Structures are given as structure tokens and as C-alpha cells.
Amino acid sequence: MASLKHAPLRALPRRPAEAKPWGLVAVVGLALTILCLAMGYLSGVLGTSMLERPMVLLGLPVILALGFVFLIDRPKLLMALLLFRAALDPLLEATKINLGSFSTGIGGLLNALIIALTISVVLENRNPFFKRGLAFFAPFLLVTLVGVFRSPLPGDAVKSYLSLVTYFCAFIIGLHLASGPQGPRMPLKLIVASSVTPVLISLLMLATGWSFGVTAELESIPGSEGGRFAGPFTHPNILAFYMLLNIALVLYLWRTQPSNVSFWARVGPPLYMGVMVLILLLTKTRSAWAACFALFLAYGVFIERRFLLYLVAGLLLSTLLPSVRERLVDLNEGNSYVQYAKLNSYAWRQLIWSDGLSYMEPVRYVVGYGFESFKALSLTFFSMGGGRMFGAHNVYVQVIFEVGAIGLAALVWLMIGPLLSMWRAVLGRDLLAALGLLLMLSYAMVCYSDNVLSYLVFNVYFWLALGAIFVGLSQRNDAVASEAA
């Protein structure tokens, strides 16, 4: 029998002329139908949104520009994104549109871009520290992913989970940038540089009274009333924690710079810290105040004793501000829950914590009710909810309620894991290790009284800094180990 390749052309099987690829036609038709329906839906959404949010028109050119730069020069795009992301909140809020129960805008696009850039970094660079960073985040990301599928608010759960993935990507980017020739100082300087624009905008707002506008909803959030300053961010707490992070980084960069720097390099950092401390005080975020006090106290006790004098002087000066005195006096009022009484923000938090934990069934302490379930179920269990959903204002309570003790253990590992690589350097009075330790302790501290996991801008820069610090300390530990061997 002749082989097929030597067979005459007339012997090969042919498709009948009348046969039609109906399967292919059906698939193409279905795809075009879905595409037309999606375009029609998005056109309606965009058309309605543009009446209230004209900034939505920026979406398409921004997408095209970012895509073009992504293809040409990803490293420079990453640097630009990290340098200016902190100042973009007002613009990003103005571009949000509602897609059913899910709202997104250019901010969601930038988060997706951070994830894409991280994937690019991982694929193009064989960084030996990537697996170590993954080991810290993987348990918490896996537990919360399971919680997403069990969530009563799937749209909010997916959005919040993508934020967690973005924090992990920021940590990985910190690992990558700190592995360069300049070490961890380069990404830490980048974070401080990103604060210049928000600080300048904040000073402009304070000097002129101009603002981006504060919604009535924000003013009605317990603990947010009373003229708290949010600067260019959507909430005063975000500005406060972002300032706290940069105060710590400026302190480290200032005290570790060479001795032969110029006059302005010596005088500029403490002046800039003073401006950021003032902005921090105007946010009226007491948890950030306490964390900042603990930061300077620990630095004064363990590193430079003379900073204790600066700390005492700063405390005395801060009490001259009426806003500081009001927030401190507020803690002495409204501490008991009686009918028609107005609770202060801390007593209000204690009430929602106790209501939420009392509502939980014993079996739920292990696995929780699903990611973002605290807000949804607060309509049921919170005695002062008034028909509105509220977050836990405590990361630990939120995690126990939503993903149970397993999730809390994963969160504790995420916080403790990097610290385990720092303790030897801390005992050796390494200032970089002290910075990492103080940052993580401050983070754990503010998690006690705020919805920290939802503060995207702060978390991106915090985990970026921690990734850089982790690499710097790991390189030193590896070098010591190799010398000892």
C-alpha cells in the first residue's frame, strides 16, 4: 500500500463542497454577541457615569498610554508608578464607575499594572529572595482566597483580595529593588520621594483652605468627625499612617547618611520630619500618634538617648494645638453605652468588637464567615448600626470573624516571619533591623484600632519598604554565615 505522501492528489479525502463549518460559525457568532452585549452595557454605564464623573473620559487615553510604556520600558514605568501613586487618589476616585455591585476605575487599572509588573520582574529576574517572600504571604493569601468563595459580598471580597495581592506584589518589588547595587536605600529613598507631592498638596490645602471635597458619608463615619485633615487622600487615617511610615524612613536615612554631606542634607531631613509630624497631628488619628510616640521613644531608648529630649519637647508643643487637646479629652467622655448617648470613637469600637465576637457561633471561630463578611453581617449583630454596614476597625477581630483562627495564625506568621530574620541584627544594634522591627510593631499596633487592610496606598508603600529591609538584612546575614563557614 502506497504511503500517504506518495498518494496521488485525487486519492486524498476532500471536504464536500456543500459542507459548512457550522460549529465555527456558532462559536464566532456567540463571541460577537457577547462582545456586543458587553460593549452596549459598558457604553450605558460610561454614558451615565460621565454625567456625574467627567474624569471617566481619561480612562481610555490613560490605558493606551500605560500600555504603550509597558511594552517599551517596564522598569521606568514601575519607577514612575511608585513615585507618583501616592498623589493620585483624588484623580482615581473621580474615575470610579459602578459595574453592578463592583466599582472600579483607573485605580483598579494601576493595581493590575503593579501585579503585571511584578510578574514581569519575577519572570525576568531569578531573585533568590522571592521564595522567602512568598513563604511569608502564601498562607494568608490562600486562607483569604478560600474566604472569597464563601463571602456574602463577593464583589467586595474580590476587590479586597486583589488589594492583598497588590500588597504582596509591593513586597516582591521591594525585594527586587533592594537587590540592586544601591541596596535597600534606593527603594527607601523612592518611598520618601513619593511623599513630597502629597506633603506639598497638604500644605497648599492648609494655607488656602482649598480641598478636594469631603463627602457627607465620610463625615458620618464614627471617629472621622471634627474637622480631621485628610489631605489628598480619601480618609484622614490613610494620610496619618502614610506620614508615620515616611517619618520613620526619613529618620533612618538621615541618621545613616555619610558625615561629609552638605549643610542642607543635614538640616533638610529633620525639617521635613517636623512638617510631616504637624500633618500627622492634624489628621487627629490617635493610633498613629501613639505609634509615632512609640517609634521615637524606642529610638531614643535603644539608639540615641538625646532623642528623648526631642520627644518631650515635641509632646509639650503638640499640646498647644487645640485639635490635639480635643482628641485627648474626647477619650474621657462617652465611655458608657446608654440610650441616646454618643460614644467616643474608642468606646464605639469596643462595642462593635464585642457585638461581632458575641455573634459568632463556636464552629465559626475556626473558619469564619467568609472574606468581607463582617460588614455584611454587621447589619444583623451591631446594636448601633442604624441599618448601615461597618467594618471591624480592628484587623485581628476582622480576620477572626471572616477567616477564623486559621486566618489569624496566617496573619501572625505574615507579621512575625520577616521579624525572625531581623532579631540577630537587632541584638547587634543594626539600625536597618531596628527600623524594620519598629515599622512592623507600629503596623501591628495600628491594626488594633483601624481597618488597615483597606488602606491601599499606605500598605503598598509599607510592604515595599519591608521587602527592601528584609533583603538588606538577609544579605548581611548570608554574608556573616558565609564568613563563619
Domain parsing of the chain, residue ranges: 181-484
d(CA 48, CA 305): 60
d(CA 273, CA 310): 12
Higher pLDDT, 41 or 303: 303
In this predicted structure, what is the pLDDT of residue 271? 93
Higher pLDDT, 51 or 236: 236
Q: How does residue 10 score in pLDDT terms, banded at 50, 70 and 90?
A: very low
User: What are the pLDDT digits (tens) for 18-37?
Assistant: 444 555 555 555 556 655 65
Mean pLDDT score, 97-102: 55
pLDDT at 244 over 90: yes
For residue 131, what is its C-alpha cell?
A: 521564595
Q: How does residue 431 score in pLDDT terms, banded at 50, 70 and 90?
A: confident
User: What are the pLDDT digits (tens) for 132-184?
Assistant: 888 899 999 999 999 999 999 888 899 899 999 999 999 999 998 988 888 89
For residue 82, what is its C-alpha cell?
A: 511608585
| Range name among 56-65, 107-116, 404-413 with the lowest pLDDT average | 56-65
Mean pLDDT score, 429-455: 88
For residue 9, what is its C-alpha cell?
A: 492528489
Of the candidates 346, 451, 441, the one whose C-alpha atom is nearest the C-alpha of residue 394 is: 451
Of the candidates 254, 247, 259, 252, the one whose C-alpha atom is nearest the C-alpha of residue 269 is: 254
Mean pLDDT score, 277-295: 88
CB atoms within 10 A of CB 90: 16
Q: Is the dihedral of CA 192, 195, 200, 202 positive or negative?
A: negative
pLDDT at 226 over 70: no
d(CA 368, CA 146): 11
In this predicted structure, what is the pLDDT of residue 357? 92
In this predicted structure, what is the pLDDT of residue 347? 83
Q: DSSP code of 334?
A: S
Three-state DSSP class for 211?
coil
Higher pLDDT, 323 or 332: 323
In this predicted structure, what is the pLDDT of residue 252? 92
In this predicted structure, what is the pLDDT of residue 345? 77
Three-state DSSP class for 97?
strand
d(CA 231, CA 228): 9
Longest dimension (CA), the chain: 103
Q: DSSP code of 344?
A: P
d(CA 292, CA 242): 11
pLDDT at 368 over 60: yes
Average pLDDT of the residues of the chain: 78
Which residues sit opposite 98 in a β-bridge? 103
d(CA 421, CA 483): 18
CB atoms within 10 A of CB 384: 14
* Identity of the highest mean pLDDT range in 134-148, 211-225, 329-343: 134-148
